[in-house]
Amino acid sequence: MFNFARERQLPTLLLIDDDMVSREVTATLLTMSGYSVHTAEDGTASVELLDSGNCAPDAILMDAQMPGLSGESLITELRARSRAVVVAMSGSNAPQELVATADGFLLKPFGAEALQQLLKERVARADASAASDSAAANGGGAGSSSPGSAVNEPVVKAATLARLREMMPESAVREIYAAVVADLNRRLTVLEAAIAAGDVAQVRSIGHAIKGGCGMAGALQAARLGSLLEALPLEPKGNHLDNSADLLRDLRAALDDLERMLNSEFQV
């Protein structure tokens, strides 16, 4: 197994995430931090990549909530093909069974430093005791935000924008936020249809994806609204769908703010 503490180079990573924005932003951040990163859009694609022999990762980052092959079943398939450290990641608290099965957990949004610390801690635990039953790592900071209006949130977290600008050319930073805007536009169309159909489960799923992707890019208003959509009760009773329609309206306003930021900040 790769020993992070004893090697000078950073480990090779396999990043598995079905959300395009979250996947690309995370891959970009990690690559610019010195990691070699392979990506897969879902569990099946990751298994096929490992089977191809073209990817031999030291650590695997997998989103905790994906359609198809996912969760503990995916971890079983990954362990059958690789000795890599398997780290679950999510924009929400993951099921305890999954966290116990994985070698660690990172709460989105996270930076390269959180991953580096998690890997170092795992090596320290492995050196101290040759077989940890379950690595209940916690690589993220504070968890869920309490419900509330996103109006007072900045459009983009200044620290995230500054960090991206330190790590990559201005054109690459612009491409990241252009991708966030394009993805959010697409998800708003799907969200509107889900609300019209009364599909609360789909609304929650879209909210989870928005929270994760926008959170990684520091798009705070949109990420907070995604979190509120994800938290809607599953039972389509009372004014739950009315609430989601209100959130849809606010999300469109957040998208407008993002587009204005993109045009003014990067002069697109």
Strands (E), the chain: 12-16, 36-40, 59-63, 85-90, 104-107
Q: What is the pLDDT of residue 140?
A: 37
- How many residues are given for the chain? 268
Tell me if 12-128 shares its fold with 158-265. no
The more confidently predicted of residues 236 and 134 is: 236
Please name the CATH architecture into which domain 12-128 falls: 3-Layer(aba) Sandwich (3.40)
Q: Is the model's pLDDT at 51 over the cut of 50?
A: yes
In the numeric block, the tokens 């609204």 are attached to 225
Which pLDDT score is estimated for 121? 79
On whether the CB atoms of residues 12 and 61 are closer than 8 A, the answer is no
CB contact set of 121 (below 8 Å; sequence gap of 6+):
104, 137
Give dist(CA 40, CA 158) in Å, integer.
29
Q: How confident is the model at residue 149 (pLDDT cuts 50, 70, 90)?
A: very low
Omega before residue 109 within 30° of 0, cis:
yes
> How would residue 50 be classed by pLDDT, with cut points 50, 70 and 90?
very high
Q: What are phi and psi of 110, to 5 degrees?
A: -130, 160
Share of the chain above pLDDT 70, in %: 81
| Higher-pLDDT residue of 57, 130 | 57
Of the candidates 122, 54, 118, the residue with the CA atom closest to the CA atom of residue 82: 54
Is the distance from CB of 150 to CB of 248 less than 8 angstroms? no
Q: Check pLDDT > 80 for residue 2.
A: no
CA count, 13 A, side-chain hemisphere, 29: 26
Mean pLDDT of 35-52: 94
The CATH code belonging to domain 158-265 is 1.20.120.160
179-200 pLDDT, tens digit per residue, is 899 999 999 999 999 988 888 8
- Tell me the per-residue pLDDT of 203-253, one tens digit each, with 9 for 90 and over: 988 998 898 888 888 898 899 999 888 888 876 555 556 677 788 889 999
Per-residue model confidence (pLDDT) at position 145: 37
Q: What is the mean pLDDT of the chain?
A: 81
Q: Where are the domains of the chain?
A: 12-128, 158-265
**Roughly what angle, to the nearest 10 degrees, separates helices 220-230 and 170-196?**
30
Tokens of 33: 């931090």
Predicted pLDDT at 136: 36
Interatomic CA distance for residues 267 and 66, integer angstroms = 36
- The pLDDT > 90 percentage for the chain reads 28
DSSP string covering 211-261: HHHHHHTT-HHHHHHHHHHHTS-SS--TTHHHHHHHHHHHHHHHHHHHHHH
CA distances from 208 to 48, 66, 118, 174 (A): 26, 11, 24, 24
- Virtual CA dihedral for 23, 5, 71, 80, nearest 10 degrees? 110
